[in-house]
């Protein structure tokens, strides 16, 4: 999922519309304020912002702000705490992305 997010090939609503899939709305299903893109869903959506805020507090780090999906994949470059900690933070960021994607799908399909 994460490499597809980086390539902007996730089946977000905007990408589905671009592929001529008939969908009722391209608005983000979590916040319903902006078009659903990978960048919005994982970085700018109000739900994602709360996830990253909680993530920072839980990891005892300064607040994390991402502007693009690829910024999440480079989290290990921002946190300078040794190789082991960098790998753990990277893995946890990928898990957080998966949780956001899963919640998005739960909202749409359930």
Q: What is the structure's pLDDT at 4?
A: 83
Q: What is the structure's pLDDT at 76?
A: 81
Q: Is the pTM of this model over 0.95?
A: no
**Model pLDDT for residues 42-88, shown as the tens digit of each residue:** 999 999 999 999 999 998 888 888 999 999 999 888 777 788 988 99
**Model pLDDT for residues 5-41, shown as the tens digit of each residue:** 878 899 999 999 999 999 999 999 999 999 999 999 9
Q: Any idea how long the chain is?
A: 110
Number of helices (H), then strands (E), belonging to the chain: the values are 7, 0
């Amino acid at each position: 999922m994460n490499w597809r997010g980086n390539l902007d090939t996730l089946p977000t609503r905007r990408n589905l519309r671009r592929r001529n899939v008939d969908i009722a709305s391209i608005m983000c299903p979590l916040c319903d304020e902006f078009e659903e893109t990978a960048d919005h869903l994982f970085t700018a959506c109000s739900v994602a912002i709360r996830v990253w805020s909680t993530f920072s507090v839980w990891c005892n780090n300064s607040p994390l702000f991402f502007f693009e999906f690829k910024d999440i994949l480079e989290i290990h470059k921002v946190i300078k705490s040794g190789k082991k900690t960098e790998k753990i933070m990277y893995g946890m960021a990928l898990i957080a992305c998966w949780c956001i994607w899963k919640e998005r799908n739960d909202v749409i399909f359930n």
